[in-house]
């Protein structure tokens, strides 16, 4: 397969954005560890954008490692598979970090489990071919991705097969693999690039194959020189381009990444498909390779447990459905000055307090902040300084969105395109008045969505 790289270019960056402290040092040098199998997992039936999955097993049923326990609820949905062998317990309800209450399948681990080196080899080991991938048809690749329950592992959790269904009206000429990991603290993608680049490259080639794309680009920020070197070596001879971008938040957002990599601007309210691009996270690419070449489902993912409030920050290969508390305990527990636990990173993550909260396919990390990290001034009135406008990568007016949300003014919120905000947090980070703009926008979105359903 030959690739033709013609980039419009935008200097390896995008307009606006912010530069929060990176704080990657907590876990960036911690090699991925395989977490021991838990005694119990609680697997939410909503782990993707779109329709929730439908249970495919009954209480007291015995399931094997990797067995399907839930079917896709619609085209924009995915099946779910068990990360352990064991017995299905009575269905329950779990609260996700974003506050949603969803049904969940509890499974009690029983018998011998795949663990340790055997689990690592099961997921990442063996050969990852680069030649002969054209033997897979577009349908075979998409079907394998769908059957394996693959979603975007960067946090968006959009069902991956939906992105790559061939579309003659909007052909894709560029596949962009996101290795930027711009969220502060988190290092799971970085460790994936350092330790297991081979399945990432194979997955990228398969996504290029299914789209017939001329260009495959892996984008990495320039604060990750080791990852850049490893990925360039791994991509040698494949035609894949390793593009290096300037470190700035939120460089990993797909619209900003597309602009930096290709110079193409995704229209407001549009999709990458509208400019001929498909974007996937590097961890997603690795899962795609395993799904297509080996027919294996997504049951585990790499998660950073990090921050000054955790005793021993680590990057863990952990099962979907394991509790956040189990991960924290495995990392030595919390420090005395731990003050807030965040699912994800501090910019876009959700704070939670229930240690039974389960890991989902979209859990890229757990960040534990201390009282010192959270020290901030009291909220005051907006001074109309315009810093939030200067920072917003979507060219929105966050101060207006916050005002509309406070007043529950649906017309004003829609006038200022509240639904185009992807809640990156740049506005709240830069606001001198300490206004919780992101939380207000989330509330405003809920009001708009609620009004649209009436």
Provide the pLDDT for residue 226: 97
Q: Are 253 and 422 in contact (CB under 8 A)?
A: yes
Closest C-alpha among 396, 399, 395 to residue 385? 399
pLDDT at position 452 over 90: no
Of 124 and 166, the structure prediction assigns the larger pLDDT to 124
Q: Contact at 8 Å (CB) between 317 and 302?
A: yes
Give the pLDDT of residue 221. Answer: 96
- Class at the top of the CATH hierarchy for domain 1-34+114-375: alpha beta
Q: What is the mean pLDDT of residues 410-439?
A: 94
Closest CA to 294 of 202, 360, 207: 202
When pLDDT is averaged across residues 30-41 and rounded to a whole number, the result is: 97
pLDDT 10s digits, 76-116: 999 999 999 999 999 999 999 988 999 999 999 999 999 99
Q: What's the pLDDT band for 11 if we cut at 50, 70, 90? A: low
For 20-51, the DSSP string reads -----TTTTT--EEEPPPPSEEEEES--SSSS
Q: Which of 154-158, 214-218, 234-238, 288-292 has the lowest average pLDDT? A: 154-158
Separation of alpha carbons 421 and 268, rounded Å:
10
| CA gap 430, 385 in Å, rounded | 11
| Mean pLDDT rounded to a whole number for the chain | 94
Q: How far apart are CA 387 and CA 163, in angstroms?
A: 35
Cis peptide before 250 (omega within 30 of 0): yes
Closest CA to 198 of 238, 161, 167, 162: 238
Residue appearing with tokens 């990173």: 345
Summarize the confidence of residues 315-341 as an average pLDDT. 97
Q: Is 5's pLDDT higher than 60?
A: no
Average pLDDT over residues 424-431: 95
Over residues 318-340, the mean pLDDT reads: 97
Mean pLDDT of 389-401: 96
Mean pLDDT of 274-288: 97
Give me the pLDDT at residue 9, please.
43
> Helix crossing, 197-211 with 282-294: angle to 10°?
80
Question: Residue 2: pLDDT band by 50, 70, 90 thresholds?
Answer: very low
Helices (H), 196-269: 197-211, 225-235, 254-262
pLDDT on residue 10: 46
Q: Looking at residues 241-254, what average pLDDT do you find?
A: 95
Q: CA–CA distance from 286 to each of 180, 199, 377 (Å)?
A: 15, 5, 43
* Strand boundaries in 208-325, DSSP class E: 215-221, 241-245, 277-281, 300-306, 314-319
If one counts every other C-beta atom within 10 angstroms of the C-beta of residue 90, the result is 8
- Give this prediction's pTM: 0.94
For residue 308, pLDDT beyond 60:
yes
CA distances (Å), origin 310, targets 41, 327, 336, 359:
22, 11, 9, 17
Instruction: Report the candidate in 162, 166, 140 with the shortest Cα–Cα distance to residue 150.
Output: 162
For the chain, which residues make up each domain, given as ranges?
Answer: 1-34+114-375, 35-113, 387-453
The confidence band for 378, taking pLDDT boundaries of 50, 70 and 90, is confident
Q: Provide the pLDDT for residue 7.
A: 40
Q: pLDDT at position 418, please?
A: 95
Coil, strand or helix: which one is 351?
A: strand
The values of phi and psi at residue 448, to 5°, are -65, -45
């Amino acid at each position: 397969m030959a690739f033709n790289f013609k980039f419009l270019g935008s200097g390896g960056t995008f307009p606006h954005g912010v530069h929060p402290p990176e704080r990657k040092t907590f876990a960036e040098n911690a090699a991925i560890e395989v977490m021991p199998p838990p005694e119990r997992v609680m697997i939410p039936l909503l782990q993707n954008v779109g329709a929730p999955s439908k249970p495919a097993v009954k209480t007291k049923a015995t399931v094997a490692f990797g067995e399907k326990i839930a079917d896709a609820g619609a085209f924009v949905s995915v099946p779910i598979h068990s990360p352990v062998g064991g017995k299905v317990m009575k269905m329950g309800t779990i609260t996700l970090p974003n506050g949603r209450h969803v049904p969940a399948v509890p499974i009690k681990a029983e018998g011998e489990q795949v663990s340790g080196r055997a689990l690592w080899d099961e997921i990442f080991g063996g050969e990852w071919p680069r030649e002969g991938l054209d033997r897979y048809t577009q349908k075979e690749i998409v079907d394998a991705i769908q059957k394996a329950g693959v979603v975007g592992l960067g946090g968006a959790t959009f069902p991956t097969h939906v992105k790559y269904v061939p579309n003659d009206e909007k052909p894709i000429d560029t596949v962009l693999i996101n290795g930027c990991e711009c969220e502060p603290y988190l290092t799971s993608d970085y460790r994936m690039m350092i330790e297991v680049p081979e399945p990432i490259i194979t997955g990228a080639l398969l996504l290029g194959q299914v789209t017939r794309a001329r260009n495959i680009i892996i984008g990495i920020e320039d604060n990750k020189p080791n990852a850049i070197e490893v990925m360039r070596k791994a991509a040698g001879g494949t035609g894949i381009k390793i593009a290096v971008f300037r470190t700035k938040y939120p460089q990993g957002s797909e619209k900003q990444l597309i602009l930096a990599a290709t110079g193409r601007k995704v229209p407001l309210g549009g999709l990458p498909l509208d400019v001929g691009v498909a974007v996937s996270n590097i961890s997603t690419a690795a899962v795609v390779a395993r799904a297509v070449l080996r027919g294996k489902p997504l049951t585990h993912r790499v998660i950073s447990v990090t921050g000054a409030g955790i005793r021993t920050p680590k990057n863990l290969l952990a099962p979907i459905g394991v509790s956040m508390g189990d991960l924290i305990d495995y990392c030595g527990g919390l420090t005395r000055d731990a003050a807030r636990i965040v699912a994800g990173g501090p910019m876009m993550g959700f704070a939670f307090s229930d240690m039974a909260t389960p890991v989902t396919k979209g859990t890229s990390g757990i960040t534990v902040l201390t009282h010192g990290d959270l020290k901030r001034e009291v909220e005051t009135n907006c001074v109309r300084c315009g810093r939030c406008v200067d920072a917003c990568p979507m060219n929105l007016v966050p101060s207006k969105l916050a005002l509309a949300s406070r007043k529950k003014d649906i017309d004003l919120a829609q006038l200022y395109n509240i639904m185009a905000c992807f809640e990156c947090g740049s506005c709240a980070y830069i606001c001198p008045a300490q206004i919780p703009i992101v939380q207000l926008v989330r509330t405003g979105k809920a009001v708009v969505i609620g009004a649209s359903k009436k």
